[in-house]
Structure 1
């Protein structure tokens, strides 16, 4: 079997608040709404982020995204009202840990 894409996904209870939060995180509105209760951001030809409504499973997802400049992203997110504790060194890389409104973990990695 040949896999052709890898979407990261998060389950949420309230799509409206999740859309606002992820739009701020990603820096733009969703690229598509393929079905009711699902929004997508296409971050590359074969990868992206999906956010979908599933109140029974919300808050259990983890998404890891790479950023070119972690310090700049931390500042941009702080300025936009997304709280965090700043970039942290972990072993050989740096991470910026975030939580969406439903408690899903979003981790940015980078230099």
Structure 2
């Protein structure tokens, strides 16, 4: 038995606000809306990110995503209005930590 994909999740209070933020992060609208209160962005292979409207769990999620050019991505995110402190050393590579509007952590890793 082997695993073939992963769907990382963030729980949010306001789905419309989260959709705008994550659409800015990914540079596109959600790829799917599988059910009420759920948005999905499909990434490499069969992996992706789900954003759930679950106010009781919001603000406690962490999503880690690998990026191929962290500096270019940081520059693009700044230009798109997503605030951050820039890439920092971490875990044998570099990380860019982004808080979403609910305080969930989106951690981008890369060179």
Q: CA deviation at 1:4?
A: 3.3
- SS of equivalent to 1:22: helix
Distance in 2 of aligned mates of 1:94 and 1:2: 29
Measured after TM superposition, the shift of residue 91 of structure 1 is: 4.7
Q: TM-score, normalised by structure 2?
A: 0.95
Structure-to-structure mapping, 1:26-105, within 5 angstroms: 26-105=26-105
Q: In structure 2, what is the Cα distance between the partners aligned to 1:22 and 1:12?
A: 11
Deviates more, 1:42-51 or 1:55-64: 42-51
**1:19-44 deviation per Cα after TM superposition (whole angstroms, max 9, x unaligned):** 00001111111000000000000102
Question: For this pair of structures, how many residues does the alignment match?
Answer: 111
Q: Following the alignment from structure 2 to structure 1, what is the Cα–Cα distance between the partners of residues 106 and 61?
A: 8
SS of aligned partner of 2:24: helix
User: What are the superposed Cα offsets for residues 51-107 of structure 1, whole Å, 9 maximum, x if unpaired?
Assistant: 010000000000000111000000000001100000011252100011000000000
Normalising by structure 1, what TM-score? 0.95
SS at match of 1:9: strand
> Which segments of structure 1 move beyond 6 Å, counting only runs of 4 or more?
none
1:3: how far off?
3.1
> RMSD of the alignment, in Å?
1.0
